[in-house]
């Protein structure tokens, strides 16, 4: 392992340390939270990512599956598909690398890609761009954790255990692009869905620096920004 990957691995682990989380939470609460409270997303009666991914694979007859960020293989093990690759620098899957180094060396193409690695806007944006380059025609990209319920769940750096990160900003950016068609399935903390086809409902917004979007923007505009749909609707348009 080179020094860069070693430091990155330590940093990822350190981010989960409780004292760092407590300090980050204090900073967010004191200086950044606008006290908007919870949006009220309730995923308890919605399908889980395991059944969503499997149903889509079965329905479309997909033969190859890539998961970025596998952790304890809760999803990776559940997925049944002819060819499977799981990438994580720390645990689970089949390839012990960051997504960046995986994409640099990978020569394979995939029908179904599930992105669930580092939950930072800039990393998710890269993971989406790299995934689009290796997606087979008619394939699908899914992105986990797109619907944070409150400021703290989406704060970067991470400040609590339940954490979506600012993945949502990468989805908003995708929604503004002409050549990809982006939705968010209302299930399992929000599952972003990207098809490599013309955008059917392009999002027009003023803010051009997506990184600078605030939770406040998401709080008031999440339906429009994220193109939220139920799983039953998603199945009809895939």
Ligand X SMILES: C[S@@+](CC[C@H](N)C(=O)[O-])C[C@H]1O[C@@H](n2cnc3c(N)ncnc32)[C@H](O)[C@@H]1O
Shortest Å distance, C-beta 94 to ligand X: 13
Shortest Å distance, C-beta 92 to ligand X: 6
Which of 126, 222 has the CB closer to ligand X? 126
Which of 30, 44 has the CB closer to ligand X? 44
Give Cα separations from 178 to 77, 127, 203 (angstroms): 35, 19, 9
Shortest Å distance, C-beta 166 to ligand X: 14
- Helical H runs in 88-230? 99-105, 121-133, 167-175, 215-226
Shortest Å distance, C-beta 120 to ligand X: 9
Nearest residue (beta carbon) to ligand X: 69
Q: Tell me which residue of 215, 127, 142 sits closest to 184, measured CA to CA.
A: 142
Shortest Å distance, C-beta 51 to ligand X: 12
- In degrees and rounded to multiples of 5, residue 5 shows phi and psi of -65, -35
CA of residue 77 relative to chain centroid, distance: 19
Which of 49, 125 has the CB closer to ligand X? 49
- Helical H runs in the chain? 3-15, 18-27, 49-60, 99-105, 121-133, 167-175, 215-226, 231-237
Q: Tell me which residue of 99, 108, 55 sits closest to 80, measured CA to CA.
A: 55
CA of residue 5 relative to chain centroid, distance: 22
The residues binding ligand X (CB under 6 A) are 12, 49, 67-71, 74-75, 87-91, 98-99, 116-118, 123
Which of 34, 80 has the CB closer to ligand X? 80
Which of 18, 236 has the CB closer to ligand X? 18
């Amino acid at each position: 392992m080179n020094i860069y990957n070693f430091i990155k691995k330590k940093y990822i682990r350190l981010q989960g340390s409780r004292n760092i989380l407590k300090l980050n939470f204090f900073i967010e609460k004191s200086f950044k939270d606008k006290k908007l409270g919870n949006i009220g997303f309730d995923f308890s009666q919605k399908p889980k990512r395991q059944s969503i991914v499997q149903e889509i694979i079965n329905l479309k007859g997909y033969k190859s599956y890539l998961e970025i960020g596998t952790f304890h293989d809760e999803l990776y093990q559940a997925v049944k598909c002819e060819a499977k690759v799981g990438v994580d620098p720390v645990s689970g899957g089949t390839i012990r690398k960051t997504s960046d180094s995986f994409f640099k060396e990978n020569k394979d193409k995939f029908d179904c890609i599930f992105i669930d690695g580092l939950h930072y806007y800039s990393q998710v944006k890269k993971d989406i761009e790299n995934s689009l380059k290796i997606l087979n025609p008619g394939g699908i990209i899914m992105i986990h954790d797109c619907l944070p319920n409150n400021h703290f769940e989406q704060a970067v750096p991470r400040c609590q255990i339940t954490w979506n990160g600012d993945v949502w900003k990468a989805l908003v950016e995708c929604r503004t692009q002409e050549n990809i068609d982006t939705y968010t399935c209302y299930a399992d903390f929000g599952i972003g869905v990207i098809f490599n086809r013309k955008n059917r409902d392009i999002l027009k917004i003023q803010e051009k620096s997506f990184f600078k979007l605030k939770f406040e923007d998401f709080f008031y505009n999440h339906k429009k920004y994220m193109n939220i749909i139920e799983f039953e609707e998603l199945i009809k348009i895939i």
